[in-house]
Chain A
Amino acid sequence: MTAATRTALQIRIEAFTFHGDDAPVLRDAALSVTPGSLTAVLGGSGSGKSTLGKLLAGWLRAGHAGQFRGSLELGGTVLEFRGVPEDPRINPAEWSRRVAFVPQDAAAMLSSVRATVAEELAFGLENRATAREDMLRAVERTAARTGLSHLLDRDPATLSGGELRRLAVGCAVIAEPDVLILDEPLASLDAVGAAQVEALVRGLCGAGTGVVLLSQAADRLAGEATRWTVLDAQTAHDGRTVTAAGTVTAAGTPAQLAGSAELERAGVIGIGGPGGIGPNILGSGVAAGARRSGPVPAAVPGPGPASLELRGVGFGYAGDPRRHGTGAQDRVLRDVDFAVRPGEIIAVTGPNGAGKSTLLRHFNGLLRPSAGDVLVCGRSIAGVPVGKVAASVGLLFQHPRDQLFERTVLREAAFGLRQLSGKAGAEGKARAALAAVGLAGTEAAHPAELSASRQRLLALATVLAREPAVLALDEPTVGLDRHGLEALQGAVDRAAARGAAVVMVTHDLDYARRNAHRVLELSGGSLREI
């Protein structure tokens, strides 16, 4: 048997149950990885992809994090787990030398106490007492591989999304692991950032690393995989209760699985991201992303003034990014003019770091322009507190975790609604908003327990519940599976139909074109129609 066909890592899961949970999150799943291969695990939100990845990588340890029944095989050594205290114990530090993992949130990979990219890369080697000369060589080699050579002296906190993701991959591969597991490596990256990560993955596979891609999109990178494994949350009856656990529903080559019913049921998005075109890889039977069957419903301009108007808005960060300044050389926005009518859906695109989020934060006064004026429903919001503007402008943050702060999903959706709708009305509106995004039944859960996709939908529900005149959505599609995208699209269409003006910021041009009446590009601080 040659090295190319030998199995590097294999997992067989009878069941994995988190401590404190009654039902398993994963059941009847298996995956094997061979050196130099790209394997894609595709599944919708909540299908247990991240749990599978963390189990493979030793981030979730049997006995420590939960009860695991099944086996793990690494380089010919088989570890059997029966869910008993005598089960073998995995040393995460040793395991990660062979099997590395990069989480969905790349920033969580970093130590946060290292001052430069080079030191962050070396952190894992330092902990293994690698000689300094070897570390210098390894850092140089890894930086060249991940395209970080020109960034070695930068503070990791100042990196862009794509650079941060490559740094996290660099930290994972610097110890030359046999297997690398990437959890949603392309999420929230623009075209340039995604292309860089794709090239990095190809290079790693070419060098003999077995790469596992965990993704809810059958995107271009997944299309290059030799094998696909479809993971889906399947309900099961155990006599008294009905539970849902991630299960492998199909496995095979991309050609075998393209267009399969399993892929569609799992909520996997088609190639090219949320707005992409599906059939060429998924087959005609599978709807890709939020592909519309027809055009975007025409906007019916409402009476009266524009819901939102920006007049000659200019803005620049000076020094501290939390404070506004007027430095002409670092202007993020220059003389921005635009208006949105009631019922109109506008998309703003542009590369990472173009200032799209900065623009949205002007709509409700979280940032104040250094020049020009912002008008909501015909009135200037200069000097009006954000909390007051919030009655007319709802803002979905780029990172849902920044928006969620309550103890339960219901409390989260109902926060601040009492002033608008009274005590009785607040709960009703909150429940309706949750149902509108498909979160009915999760009212008592803690927001932090939800999957990333559901957290975004919850954040969306908190905005929808207020029924604002202006809906500002920052990268609403990121992390959503097809079911989530459908919920988002439905919610946006309904909001526009009741007369709300919708402005969404997205790096995904395809999605923007399919779902908006007008698409504007933010580049060099100015907006232009494309």
Chain B
Amino acid sequence: MTPRLHPFTTLTLAVCAAVVTTAAAYWPLSVAVALAAVILAARHGIAGRVLTAGAVILTPLCLSLLVLHGLFFPEGQTVLAQWGPARVTAEGLGFALELGTRTTACVLVFLLFSFTVSVPDLVSALAGRRIPPQFGFVLASTLTLLPAVAGRLDRIRQAQETRGMVGGRGLLSRLGTLRLQMVPLVLALIDDAGSRAQALDARGFGSPGPRTSYREVADPPAQRLFRAAALVFAAAAVAGRIMASWPAGAAS
């Protein structure tokens, strides 16, 4: 079994991977990072979840990139096809590919992080760094919100079906069903939040001042060193990128 990584180590890794990929702006690297994220997800047994969530986020994004840059790229010289004002240029497609793979890599890396990180460890680590506990709570709630919303939506659907609602298979019918579920979902979530807020207040959550942490998260020196090195590497990558493009930017 691999030794457990401190949440800050995995977070640093994710941030550095995203920064370096962005700084390099080299699509083969982006593809390699994205593939590495998928392989790691598969090893954790969460490839399905990461890819599904990734598809939901990336499909519309990549399509819009393709339409925006593939069809309308003013700097494009090599015209592959043209319909009125819309021109498909090789440069435009290249740019869309560059941007698309880079975004895909970043999104997959952060999804991998959010699906693998131990939320309690992360919150506890954040509290230990004197980061306001409210921040940690919001972060933890955000990461646990999706399952909570899915659970609540499931219960509303069951309640509605129990009273005669038959969900159709068509898109329109599904949208209609979803519309019926959205209002109760939002109201229920607000109501839950309201009742929980009173309990949180009573348990001293809103009060200012220092906090302690019951949960101890091991942070071996080797991991601290590794994080520092990774951050230096990422900073170097950004610096290198700026230096590489500076004269070109100044000359143009």
Contact = CB atoms under 8 A, between A and B. Distances in A.
B245 interface: no
B58 interface: no
Contacts of B160: 387, 405, 415-416
B186 to A, nearest CB: 11
B129 to A, nearest CB: 14
A131 B140 CA distance: 23
Nearest to A407: B183
Interface string B205-240: 111011111111000000000000000000000000
Contact of A113 (B144, B206, B210): B144
Contact of A115 (B120, B133, B155, B165): B120
A145 interface: no
B119 A111 contact: no
Q: Is chain B's interface secondary structure helix, strand, loop, or mixed overall? A: helix
A475 B160 CA distance: 20
Contact of B212 (A96, A118, A131): A131
Interface string A109-128: 11111111011001111111
Contact of B144 (A112, A405, A466): A112
A126 B184 contact: no
Give chain B's interface residue range (CB within 8 Å of chain A): 35 or more
B75 interface: no
Nearest to B150: A322
Interface of A: 54, 57-60, 91-93, 95-96, 100-101, 103, 105, 108-116, 118-119, 122-132, 135-136, 139, 171, 322, 364, 366, 385-388, 390-391, 394-395, 397, 401-407, 415-417, 419-420, 448, 462, 466
Interface stretch (B66-74, B107-115, B196-204): B196-204
Given A54-B198, A129-B211, A366 B161 contact: yes
A141 B167 CA distance: 51
Given A111-B205, A123-B214, 12 more contacts: A92-B201, A93-B205, A109-B199, A113-B123, A385-B166, A386-B158, A387-B160, A391-B164, A405-B183, A405-B187, A406-B184, A416-B164
B137 interface: yes
Contact of A403 (B140, B159, B187): B159
A171 B203 CA distance: 8
23 contacts: A59-B198, A59-B199, A59-B201, A60-B198, A96-B202, A108-B199, A111-B137, A123-B205, A126-B214, A127-B133, A127-B203, A128-B207, A132-B212, A132-B213, A135-B212, A136-B214, A171-B203, A387-B165, A388-B166, A390-B162, A405-B181, A405-B187, A419-B164
